[in-house]
Structures are given as structure tokens and as C-alpha cells.
Homo-oligomer: A and B are copies of this chain.
Amino acid sequence: MYQWKQLAAAGPRTAVLYRAFTFHSHRPEGNMEKNLQLVRNIVPPLTEKKHKGQDGKIGIIGGCTEYTGAPYFAAIASLKVGADLSHVFCTKDAASVIKSYSPNVIVHPVLDSSSGVDEVEKWFPALHTMVIGPGLGRDEKVLENTKVIMRKCQQRGIPIVIDADGLWVIVQEPTVIQGYSKAILTPNVVEFARLYKAVLKDPLDECDHQGNLLQLTQALGNLTIVQKGQKDLISDGTTVLICSQQGSGRRCGGQGDLLSGSLGVLAHWAFTAGTEKTDGLNPTLVAAFGACVLTRQCNYQAFQKHQRSMTTSDMIAEISTAFNKLFES
């Protein structure tokens, strides 16, 4: 709370900030191969001794009257990246539709219920990561439940990925997430600007994307932010990774859900692997880099087949081959 208020008061561009940036490791695009290797390091081996759940049990908070595709994309992406179980916690009227997309996803119609928080919380022991926001919508009751769920995840130390209207919750009340090092926010350009304004109380510097990112990340207490864009910029307030893997110009809706769902699994793997496997880098950065590069590779592959007709479903169908190409040795 104190930190971001102070920064906001100090104004956006301080020498201190830039020193922090240049002093700490900055891994530009030339390090794509090195960063890819770090992702490979955290991918768990598939041995015969494994049992159900070990490779990831992911919860998705989202899905409402309007949006049912988004939480499905996040959930199915998490399974296809390698999670064993994926649970969607959505509103009552979204559940049947999400279920009908695939029998592989478990769906709980609880998010708009007065006991919604309790219903989600009782699944905490059975979840490794929570992805909050895909298809969440703006219903007040749902947003209030979501805010409480964010707090409870932190109390339990569950890594959380926050996207879409999950970020709206943060815009309304940044302290909800401030200082939680296991949080990864994945704003697009619009969402990033909104967050920046809410936290820093200042306009963006249109010429300094990395500076903006470092500022916001630090102001939020060094959680991790993935700024999606022409290039994806990833930072935990000290290090900046850049993902410039080739995708395509196709920007159909749902790609961010593929990213957030994938990131749910990769975050679990990265925290399990620990910094020994990530060359000392924050596990959140390696997980985020993995999700960005995978999403772009899926986009690239699907675009080769479908061009302008490409939808997110076509990208989901590419996860297996994209993952193998990028991460399996």
C-alpha cells in the first residue's frame, strides 16, 4: 500500500527506477533460446510412477451469462499443456454450456451464489494454481466474491494468474493484490493502461514500454506482470524478459485465455521446480515466458493452416505440436 502510493507521489520517472532496471538482469530478445531452455527445465518428466493430479490441478474463476468460451479456453488449454485436472468455477447459468464444450473439464456453478466463496475455498486443497478472470464479467456480486477469493488464495499461498475482468478487480482496489509475489497479471494494452492509471495516477510514457512496466510492477510490490502486445514484456520489477516469438497478425478473441490457462500450469511447474532450475530467475518469469512463447507458436501454426479464418479453437488444436516443438527435448 505504502510503496505504490509513495511511487505515485514521486512521479513516474525516477533515476532510482532506471538504475534498478539497468543494474538487474535485462534479458533481451537475443536470449530467446536461453529462456526457452529455462522453460524446458521446469517441464516435469512424464514417468510411469506418476499418479493423477501431480502434474497440475488448475482452478479457473470465470464464466458468466455472456462469456462461456473464455473459461473453457483457459481450462482446456491447461489440460492440453499437461495439467491432470481442470476446474471451472462460474455462475449458475454458464455452467451447463461450459460443460457441454468438453467432458474433460469439471465445472462448478457457484460464483454468483451467496456461498460462492466457501464453495470455491473448499476446493483449495485440491488446486495448485488459480487463474482468475477469463469470462468473469462485471456483475457486482461476482466481482465481490472474486475479490475475496483473491485474498484467500494469498492467505493459502496459491499462485494466481489474473487476466481480463480479474484485472478490473485490481483496478478498483489495487491493494487486493499488492505485494503478493505469487501473482502474475496478464494485461493487454488497454488493461495495462487502465492499471497504470489506477496505480500510478499518471499517464503512460508512450515511448518507454519497459519503463512503464517496471514502474507498475514495482508500484504493485514486485508481483509479475505480462504486458501482452506486439512483443510481450514480462517483469517482476527487477528483470525484464521479452518474448518476440513469431505469431501472426490475427487477433481473434480468446487468445489471452489460452495464455492464462497455459500459464496456470506452467506457474505450478515453475514453483515446484524452484530457482535451481530457473538459473536463479523468478519462477513466475520463466512460467510467463513459456506461456507467451507457446501462445505465439500456436497462433503461428494455426495461422499457417487457417489464415484470416483462424479462431482460438484452431490454436487450441495446435498446443500439442507447438509444445513439443518448443519444450520437449
Q: Which residues of A contact B (CB under 8 A)?
A: 45-55, 65-70, 72-73, 79-85, 93, 95-97, 99-109, 188-189, 229-230, 247-256, 306-309, 311-313, 319-320, 323-324, 328
The 7 A-B pairs of least Cβ separation, nearest first, read A46-B249, A69-B103, A309-B320, A80-B309, A82-B308, A52-B251, A104-B311
A323 in contact with B311 (CB, 8 Å): no
- In the complex, how many angstroms separate the beta carbon of A116 from the nearest chain B beta carbon? 14
B252 in contact with A79 (CB, 8 Å): yes
A103 in contact with B101 given A188-B51, A253-B52, A253-B85 (CB within 8 Å): yes
A103 in contact with B309 (CB, 8 Å): no
The contact of A107 among B66, B106, B328, by CB within 8 Å, is B66
A248 in contact with B100 given A51-B229, A80-B311 (CB within 8 Å): no
The contact of A320 among B70, B81, B307, by CB within 8 Å, is B307
B104 in contact with A253 (CB, 8 Å): yes
B residues near A309, Cβ cutoff 8 Å: 79-82, 319-320, 323
Q: How far is the CA of A253 from the CA of B56 in the complex (A)?
A: 11
Q: How far is the CA of A247 from the CA of B48 in the complex (A)?
A: 8
Q: How far is the CA of A53 from the CA of B190 in the complex (A)?
A: 11
A46 in contact with B80 given A85-B253, A251-B54, A313-B103 (CB within 8 Å): no
Tell me the nearest residue of chain B to A94, going by C-beta. B99
- In the complex, how many angstroms separate the beta carbon of A308 from the nearest chain B beta carbon? 4
Tell me the nearest residue of chain B to A57, going by C-beta. B253
A251 in contact with B103 (CB, 8 Å): no
B residues near A248, Cβ cutoff 8 Å: 46, 48
- In the complex, how many angstroms separate the beta carbon of A253 from the nearest chain B beta carbon? 5
A47 in contact with B249 (CB, 8 Å): yes
B residues near A106, Cβ cutoff 8 Å: 66-67, 69, 253
A69 in contact with B230 given A320-B307, A323-B309 (CB within 8 Å): no
Q: How far is the CA of A43 from the CA of B146 in the complex (A)?
A: 41
B residues near A256, Cβ cutoff 8 Å: 52
Known A51-B188, A307-B320; 16 more pairs at CB < 8 Å: A46-B248, A47-B249, A51-B251, A53-B251, A69-B99, A70-B103, A79-B252, A79-B311, A80-B309, A80-B311, A84-B251, A100-B101, A101-B103, A104-B252, A306-B320, A307-B324
- In the complex, how many angstroms separate the beta carbon of A139 from the nearest chain B beta carbon? 13
The contact of A308 among B51, B100, B323, by CB within 8 Å, is B323
B residues near A73, Cβ cutoff 8 Å: 103
B residues near A45, Cβ cutoff 8 Å: 249
Tell me the nearest residue of chain B to A99, going by C-beta. B97
Q: Which of A102, A103, A254 has the most CB of B within 10 A?
A: A103
Tell me the nearest residue of chain B to A45, going by C-beta. B249
16 A-B contacts, Cβ less than 8 Å apart?
A46-B249, A48-B248, A52-B251, A65-B108, A69-B105, A73-B103, A79-B252, A79-B309, A80-B308, A80-B309, A101-B103, A103-B254, A103-B313, A104-B254, A307-B320, A309-B319
